[in-house]
Structure 1
Amino acid sequence: MTDPRTSVSLRGTCFGYEAHSDVSFRFLRDGVGEPLEVTFHSEEGPVPGERLVVEWKQRPDKAFHGRVYQNDKGRYRLWTSDAGWFLVDPRQRTIAIPEHADALRREVRLWTTPMLLLMVGRGDLPLHASAVEVDGGAVLFGGPSQFGKTTLAAAFHTAGFRVLAEDVTCVQVGRDTEVIPGPALLRVRHDVADRFPTSSVVDVGEDHERRFLALSKESRGNCDPLPLKGVMLLKSDASGIRLERREGARAISDFWALAFRLPGNEERERVFHRITDLADRVPVWDLVRPLDVDYLQPTVERVVEKVREL
């Protein structure tokens, strides 16, 4: 159900999961999916029997840092610097969120980092990338932090294209290669946020790095998978916009750098098979362009033109 006065949902979808909860959410899409129970908790951690499996260290260019612990039953305890502790059980499809954390930052974090653990448990390939819909298919933009993934997705939104993901993209590589839409959210840097019209987004808050923009209900759509039409690997160059085709094998190292994975030989093998299949099946380009907001619209036009040639 949805409260029309606040545009807050108690039910909706994200990355193919349908949230069942008494908690109110701002960034869900329409449709149905695998049931995901979201509840409150007040635990801290870690506790005996949990081992550290992933750690994100704070960097000069990125304030976020966090740690993931796992117990012998496969349950995760995740600590994030901006929202506290989350308890994630992929087998039971449950996430417990910190009861006393800031509601906005908690939800922004919920639909990113904890969902990575559910995606891995489902056998998906989560990539550090944004994605948009062009003519019924998904186009993915991959690159490291500060390379404009979210800004480019926002430019596509301004041009009338649906944003599927802005930082983490869920790719399923099976009989088909598809993208499952994530949260209806754009986290845009303060220095470029004012360049985008607000008619189809709602400014719901900010932190010291970014503004949080909720996509309008009309532009969200549902979480049905879309065929992946192509991958653009973001590069920067002051001389102009170029699209340079990558041979599949030459994209594997880039995909490996973009892929989230847990430690262990079995997990590394799983991810490697996924990215080699992805490189074989989907066209890949280097998207070279200046990191300048004045080049955003021409970049959108070049990408759309290239995708429509396929």
Structure 2
Amino acid sequence: MFTTYLYKAFGLTIKSDIELPELPLALGDFDVTVSLGATPVSIENPLFKGVRFESSHNEFLLKIDHIASFYVTAGKHIVIQTASNASFDEVRLFLLGSAFGALIHQRGLLPFHGSSVKINSSATIFSGHSGAGKSTLAAAFHKKGYPMLSDDVSVISLTDQGIAYVQPGYPQMKLWSDSIKNLGGEPSSYKTIRKQLEKHCIPIVECFQKEAIPLQNIFIVAASNLGELNVRPAKGIEKFNLLRNHTYRFNFIAGAEMQTNHFNYISAIAKEVNVFALTRPTGKFIFDEMIEMILACTK
């Protein structure tokens, strides 16, 4: 008998043909299907075509050599065609990352490239380019007892009144070996996300925020050689551009309708949410000081 699974992630209930052990189980009606099958060679009349992907308003095709191709349609369906001898760990990595990023864009929501925690009954997102320390900062907050909402990608929805909410992702963090050590852990205790990559999957056993909560603050983290820890509020066009530039898989947005929706989301968030530019010294693990500074900003 063919087995299907029901899971919860990103505020969606997912019916899946494949087991997704990272995700919590769910009950009831589903919003999204994940199935194994044949994917098209290409999309008919794509609005954008990149090296690995092509997209239109309601279709998205991603091809990862030696792993899988992912066909995402209408914000509701993901079909996966796996390569021979593909590692399902790697298939799930791209499914829960880029494929769901495309699906979330299709649903008219905003996937933001950042990790989020609950502070003072609302959500705070830590964003930044790769290596900035956003996941490590969220993990440091979590270690101090702050509930985790999502790692790496935080899905933002808007109410009819324009209030931004962060949807819970799934209870797992991905951290580099050095970050695990600096947080007092042992990297060898955790599975790596891909072969020959020193980044590990850390299950969140407790203190995971399971319900969506309002978004109050976003900190854009950057490393600097100046050697000083500094935070300042972003204003005006800088604020808008920071939100735009840290949208997850921004290049997946195809066509005028999706572009308009994204502009409206960014504008609403810029109006209602505090955005800060946080600079930390390169090569120094000073997350206790960063936490203290962030908490002072979120009072």
Q: How does 1:285-296 map to 2 (within 5 A)?
A: 285-296=276-287
When the two chains are superposed, the root-mean-square deviation of aligned CA atoms in Å is 2.8
Paired letter, 2:158: V
CA gap of 1:31–1:218, structure 2 versus 1, over 3 A, is farther
Conservation of the 8 A alpha-carbon contact between 1:124 and 1:171:
yes
Conservation of the 8 A alpha-carbon contact between 2:175 and 2:201:
yes
Aligned residues: 285
- 1:5 aligns with none
TM-score normalized by structure 2? Answer: 0.83
Q: How does 1:215-254 map to 2 (within 5 A)?
A: 215-222=203-210, 224-237=211-224, 238-254=226-242
Residue 68 (1) aligns with residue 68 (2): no
Residue 97 (1) aligns with residue 84 (2): no
Q: Secondary structure at the match of 2:62?
A: strand
Residues 218-246 of structure 1: CA deviation (Å, up to 9, x unaligned): 23342x21110111111333433222122
Q: How does 1:153-172 map to 2 (within 5 A)?
A: 153-172=138-157
Q: Secondary structure at the match of 1:111?
A: helix
Deviation at 1:197, TM superposition (A): 4.3
- 1:11 aligns with 6
Paired letter, 1:28: L
CA gap of 1:209–1:50, structure 2 versus 1, over 3 A, is farther
CA gap of 1:303–1:76, structure 2 versus 1, over 3 A, is same
Conservation of the 8 A alpha-carbon contact between 1:202 and 1:216:
no
Deviation at 1:186, TM superposition (A): 2.0
Conservation of the 8 A alpha-carbon contact between 1:204 and 1:212:
yes
CA gap of 1:227–1:248, structure 2 versus 1, over 3 A, is farther
CA gap of 1:182–1:83, structure 2 versus 1, over 3 A, is farther
Residue 77 (1) aligns with residue 61 (2): yes
The separation in 2 between residues aligned to 1:95 and 1:265, in whole angstroms, is 23
Deviation at 1:138, TM superposition (A): 0.8
Gapped regions of structure 1 (runs ≥ 5): 1-8, 58-65
Deviates more, 1:27-36 or 1:278-287: 27-36
The separation in 2 between residues aligned to 1:82 and 1:147, in whole angstroms, is 29
Detail structure 1 runs of 4+ shifted over 6 Å in the superposition: none
Structure 1 or 2: more strand by fraction: 1
TM-score normalized by structure 1? Answer: 0.80
Identical-residue share of aligned pairs (%): 21
Residue 283 (1) aligns with residue 270 (2): no
The separation in 2 between residues aligned to 1:22 and 1:202, in whole angstroms, is 29
Deviation at 1:50, TM superposition (A): 5.5
The separation in 2 between residues aligned to 1:244 and 1:44, in whole angstroms, is 47
Deviation at 1:17, TM superposition (A): 1.2
Residue 297 (1) aligns with residue 288 (2): yes
Decide which of 113, 116, 120 is 1:135's aligned counterpart.
120
Gapped regions of structure 2 (runs ≥ 5): none
